[in-house]
Amino acid sequence: MVVVDLNDQSFFYDVMSLTGEFLPGEKIKEKPLTFEENSKDTLISVILSGNEAVVSSKGLVEKENIEGFERREVKSGVKRAVYRILSKQTGRNLPWGTLSGIRPIKLISSYLEEGLSPETIENKLYREYYISEEKAKKGLEIACLEKELLESADLSRGYSLYIGIPFCPSVCLYCSFSSYPVKRYQNVTGSFVEALKKEIAATAELLKGHPLDTVYIGGGTPTALSEYELSDIFDALSNDFTLSGVKELTVEAGRPDSITKEKLSVLKKYGVSRISINPQTMNDETLKRIGRAHTADSVREAFELSRETGFTNINCDIIAGLPGEGEIEYQNTAKEVRKLSPESLTVHCLARKRASRLTEEWDEYKDSAFKVTESALSVFYDLSKELLMRPYYLYRQKNIAGNLENTGYSKEGASCLYNVLIMEEKQPIIALGAGGVSKLLTGKKPMRLSNPKDPLLYIEGTEDIIRKKKEGLVRTGWL
Ligand code: SF4
């Protein structure tokens, strides 16, 4: 166990997250009043005096000057000192240095907005955050591309919609999303669609006059619903919102075992411009192990069907670090995905999320999962190059394999604007359906309004959800 002793408690979370990145799985807590100096626990002490931050642990001492600094800079200094100590103790460096947040690109974008040159930014990333050269260059490339992409969105009056459909054919091992097995919930889907239509109508009324830039229908797996239910939702959407100016309409058709010709035809009819078919891996044994009731062959069939229906912008999600997989399995997945030739690719590193079966059954998987290194990941980087793609968005997660990141790559013109908008938090995202989180901009941190994950609670609480959304929009000056 690691015990942290701070004379300014407001930095506890930052020190704890950074320590957790160096020592994954280790328990970290504040120093109790009864702590014994000769305890076996590792003690990290952080003392802030007027002009100095002093960090010490196991005989090592690191100092940072903080005189006259603003809180943000003091926090950076504390994290640098903690980083140096932990790096010496563990003999490791972290690819993303002291950045423990999930949106490293936001920091780089803010430097671009300040007008700093790429060289100055790279230097700051090495010097102030200890980010590796490779990550700094990748981050900068993505931030520049994001800037270009954002020019097509209306950042002063526009907004985007997220619609959460909380059903899937089966629940994957690592899932912590809003996902309920559709067969078991077949008596609920009809009422869910009715409740969603109510929320769609009320939200469209509230946002009248504001341009809708992008729509993202996710979940869950929206295509787990029947073609009739999908049609019903799209009818409501196109009647209540003005979809003619929408720049992008994405539907997660993630599970190939949920895709049919009829459902694809519904999506095409209503102008869906981008779909995502997600193999995660093209190795059948792994697919079985992670609870996905489909094979690599069904991914190929779903792709073929989608191309036949006329979809020209298809994304593929892949996960590195699944149990039983290493470089050989990644190479097979890359070889098979190359044949599918998607327009974009999202490469995730497996993350251990609190509400997932993976975490509950961690003892069973801890020796076979999370085998991700920078070099193993380069298999997918090479794949993106072969498919003529560039990285255009990136985010990190807590407890992510190899301390790495998730990266979206795309061919020219096939990037997902919604993905960039949600990362950069430059435009309100209004979430409908189960499990969605609206982000309303306030000038500082966005105000977040969560819809319940459970479809039954969503159905019961629709009126309340609509009321809270209205109040939130009023409070943030949108109404
Ligand atoms: S397909 Fe996605 S949302 Fe559905 S269970 Fe698997 S990870 Fe969760």
* pLDDT tens readout for residues 255-283: 999 999 999 999 999 999 999 999 999 99
CA 192 to centroid of ligand 1, rounded, Å:
18
Q: How many domains does the chain have?
A: 3
The residue range of the domain holding 115 is 104-142
- 449: domain CATH number? 3.80.30.20
- β pairing state of 52-57 and 60-65: antiparallel
Distance between CA atoms of residues 278 and 303, nearest Å: 10
In a domain, 97, yes or no: no
Contact residues for 74 (Cβ-Cβ < 8 A; gap 6+): 48, 53, 66
Indicate whether 134 and 167 sit together in one domain.
no
**3-class secondary structure, 286:** helix
Indicate whether 14 and 86 sit together in one domain.
yes
Among 168, 184, 298, the mutation site with the greatest number of ligand 1 atoms within 8 A of its Cβ is: 168
In a domain, 150, yes or no: no
Which residues sit with their C-beta closer than 6 Å to ligand 1? 168, 171-172, 175, 177, 179, 219-221, 254-255
Indicate whether 53 and 164 sit together in one domain.
no
Indicate whether 175 and 131 sit together in one domain.
no
Indicate whether 244 and 170 sit together in one domain.
yes
Indicate whether 119 and 49 sit together in one domain.
no
pTM of the model: 0.93
Spatial contact of 221 and 255, defined as CB atoms under 8 Å apart = yes
In a domain, 276, yes or no: yes
**What DSSP line would sit under 153-179, residue for residue?**
S-TTT-EEEEEEE-EESS--TT--SS-
Spatial contact of 161 and 430, defined as CB atoms under 8 Å apart = yes
In a domain, 98, yes or no: no
User: Which residue has the CA at smallest separation from atom 7 of ligand 1?
Assistant: 175
Strand order in the sheet with 159-165: 390-395, 406-410, 344-349, 314-320, 274-276, 248-252, 212-219, 159-165, 429-433, 437-440, 447-450
CA 366 to centroid of ligand 1, rounded, Å:
21
Indicate whether 128 and 219 sit together in one domain.
no
Q: Which of 265, 188, 268, 243 is nearest to 220 (CA)?
A: 188
List per-residue pLDDT tens for the chain, 479 residues long.
888 888 888 889 999 989 988 988 788 888 877 777 767 888 899 999 879 999 999 999 999 999 989 988 999 999 999 999 999 999 999 999 999 788 999 999 999 999 999 999 999 999 999 999 999 999 999 999 999 999 999 999 999 999 999 999 999 999 999 899 999 999 999 999 999 999 999 999 999 999 999 999 999 999 999 999 999 999 999 999 999 999 999 999 999 999 999 999 999 999 999 999 999 999 999 999 999 989 999 999 999 999 999 999 999 999 999 999 999 999 999 999 999 999 999 999 999 998 899 999 999 999 999 989 888 899 999 999 999 999 999 999 888 888 899 999 999 999 999 999 999 999 999 999 999 999 999 877 899 999 999 999 999 999 999 999 999 999 998 88
Indicate whether 253 and 125 sit together in one domain.
no
**Could you tell me where the beta strands, DSSP code E, fall in 310-459?**
314-320, 344-349, 390-395, 406-410, 429-433, 437-440, 447-450
In a domain, 265, yes or no: yes
In a domain, 444, yes or no: yes
**Could you tell me where the beta strands, DSSP code E, fall in 42-102?**
42-48, 52-57, 60-65
Distance between CA atoms of residues 167 and 393, nearest Å: 26
Indicate whether 389 and 453 sit together in one domain.
yes
Q: How far is CA 6 from the centre of its chain?
A: 31
In a domain, 357, yes or no: yes
Distance between CA atoms of residues 262 and 275, nearest Å: 15
Atom number in ligand 1 closest to CA 255: 1
Indicate whether 72 and 129 sit together in one domain.
no
